[in-house]
Amino acid sequence: MHLLHIFIILGLTPLLTISFLPPKLLPLVNSMSDSMIHLSRYHRRTTLRPPSPPPPPSPFPSPSPSKKGKDIVILGSGWSAQSFVKIINDQNPHVNSITLVSPLNYFLFTPLLLSASVGTVEIRSIVEPIRSCNPFVDHIEGSAYKIDHKKKLVHLTPNLIDDPSHIENVTIPYDQLIVSVGEEATVRNVPGAALCSLPLKTAQDAQKLRTCIVNAFERGVLASRKKQSNKNWSQEVKHLLTFVVVGGGPTGLEFCGELYDFLSNDAGKLYPEIINYAKVVLVDSGRTSDLDPFKKLLKEKGLQKLNSRKGVGLAKERVVSVSGSGPKGNEPPFQVVFEGSEVVNCGTVVWAGGTAPRAIVADLISELNFGKDADGKELYRKLPVDEYMRVKNVEDGSILALGDNALFLDAGPRGLPPTAAVAAQQGPYVARLINRNYDLSVGCSSISNSNTNASLSCSPPQVSFIRSPLALMKTRIRASN
């Protein structure tokens, strides 16, 4: 292809969403469209100096009386939010402002989080400032705690407060809200687990876990020097160097593999006198079903492979309590009690036993009335969305959900897998819908509170010129199947 042809295609990219476009060219069209946005953004960043705005009365955005476009608010800074911010066109005349709200000012590359927790990679190598993704998107470092979907307001608390006793509440209006806050780790009402165990969801968790692993070996070295005065020194070292990982899912299995590699390759060279006392115990209750993120056969194969390694044990029982030492009960050694009354003494407890919806998502689910089960609990733990990522029961389509907090019902009862690969595709998909001026308020569907088995079909959102190639691609895939 000649250079002239490339420039012609780049210039006509917004018009290439016609119905006769071959499916094989759809990824190329999307890439060209995204490239034009990135080139325009780079040109403005390097050659143009943004005008100095007058000092506002508040550092937080407020609706302008003369605005012509939508105010878009994104909650979260994970995979879906980061990929959305990179693709969204801030020069779209139908967009007035784009604001990202997150308690973190960086994006975390989660696939390498487990490696960072044992020191294989540095944490600074797996984080990226969220402002560098798109410098023309406003960022507020704060925690959103409530969504008023009727008044279209987001209530949040800024992280940076001079007086910790003073809680400053900020309200941000929106026309289009992107909810991508993900989920949080849960200990499932196990006594002492929240106090004595370590989750593995954020960069701070990885840093803390890395410190605890090193401290366990250092305590073991000190205990080994008391051979003459302490006859039970070997038992003490064994307890300190026993690492219990609760949860046989993707996080638990992968972390056990990373920890085993660390003990085999690095720790043996640094602590040769006590390395033989180190042991990893993976706790899996065995309640595996075909609906888990790992299929039953694949999960069992991974557990067998891990259990065959030297220094790795597998406990197929449920944890009922965790207790520690010290005045506050949160210092090693810890005691992990199983359902069969067996007790394991250890120096570190890592909890990867599941996730739960964040409070802001749970409150929104309750307000939207999706229905309850026989026990009176909410029928869904995530926000049900249609094929255009619009949250159901929101009549005007003003709320979209991406990532782990979204439940794509067309993919089954559990939705799509909660992985980075899924979230990283949902963000650009929604960004392109907005870039191509789709009216997301058209054809919104709902879930009846009285009949949860009602039809969940939805009409495609309307666009002023033509239909998106992504929607055409979905139609053709269904036709071919």
Question: Is 339 strand, coil or helix?
Answer: coil
Question: Is 16 strand, coil or helix?
Answer: coil
pLDDT band at 167 (very low <50, low <70, confident <90, very high): low
Higher pLDDT, 291 or 434: 434
User: Of all residues in the chain, what percent carry a pLDDT higher than 90?
Assistant: 42
- Is the distance from CB of 179 to CB of 399 less than 8 angstroms? yes
**pLDDT tens string 215-239:** 999 999 998 887 767 778 889 999 9
- Per-residue confidence (pLDDT) for residue 403, from 0 to 100: 93
- Tokens 């040109």 belong to 43
Backbone angles phi and psi of 314, in degrees to 5 = -125, 125
- Tokens 């969801």 belong to 201
User: What average pLDDT score do residues 33-37 get?
Assistant: 75
**pLDDT tens string 260-305:** 999 988 998 999 999 999 999 998 876 544 445 556 666 677 777 7
- Is the distance from CB of 302 to CB of 294 less than 8 angstroms? yes
Name the least confident of 3-17, 156-170, 267-281: 3-17
DSSP 198: B
User: What average pLDDT score do residues 44-53 get?
Assistant: 58
* Strand boundaries in 103-225, DSSP class E: 106-108, 127-129, 138-148, 153-158, 170-173, 176-179, 183-185
pLDDT band at 138 (very low <50, low <70, confident <90, very high): very high
Higher pLDDT, 57 or 283: 283
Average pLDDT, the chain: 80
- Per-residue confidence (pLDDT) for residue 467, from 0 to 100: 41
Q: Is the pLDDT of residue 451 over 70?
A: no
- Per-residue confidence (pLDDT) for residue 67, from 0 to 100: 56
Q: Report d(CA 461, CA 153) in Å as an integer.
A: 23
Closest CA to 389 of 399, 400, 398, 397: 400
**pLDDT tens string 77-124:** 999 999 999 999 988 888 999 999 999 999 999 999 999 999 999 999
- Per-residue confidence (pLDDT) for residue 181, from 0 to 100: 95
What is the value of pTM for the model shown? 0.79
Chain-centre distance of CA 197, in angstroms?
Answer: 20
Can you read off the two tokens belonging to residue 251?
């996080």
For residues 373-412, one letter each, b for 16 or more C-beta atoms within 10 angstroms of the residue's C-beta and e for the rest, the string is eeeeeeebbbbbbbbbbbbbbbeebbbbbbbbbbbbbeee
* Total residues belonging to the chain: 481
pLDDT band at 134 (very low <50, low <70, confident <90, very high): confident
- Write out the DSSP string of 365-416: HHHHT--B-TTSSBS-SSEEE-TT-BBTT-TT--EEE-GGGEEEGGG-TT-S
**pLDDT tens string 403-423:** 999 999 888 778 888 889 999
pLDDT band at 390 (very low <50, low <70, confident <90, very high): very high
Contacts of residue 342, defined as CB under 8 A and 6 or more positions apart, other chains included, come to 315, 317
- Per-residue confidence (pLDDT) for residue 460, from 0 to 100: 56
pLDDT band at 16 (very low <50, low <70, confident <90, very high): very low
**pLDDT tens string 303-331:** 777 767 777 888 888 899 999 888 888 88
- Write out the DSSP string of 260-279: HHHIIIIIHHH-TTTGGG-E
- Is the distance from CB of 456 to CB of 386 less than 8 angstroms? yes
Domains of the chain are 70-184+358-480 (3.50.50.100), 193-353 (3.50.50.100)
- Tokens 């994104």 belong to 74
Q: Report d(CA 51, CA 68) in Å as an integer.
A: 20
Q: Report d(CA 277, CA 261) in Å as an integer.
A: 15
- Please state, as a whole number, how many other Cβ atoms lie within 10 Å of the Cβ of residue 437: 16
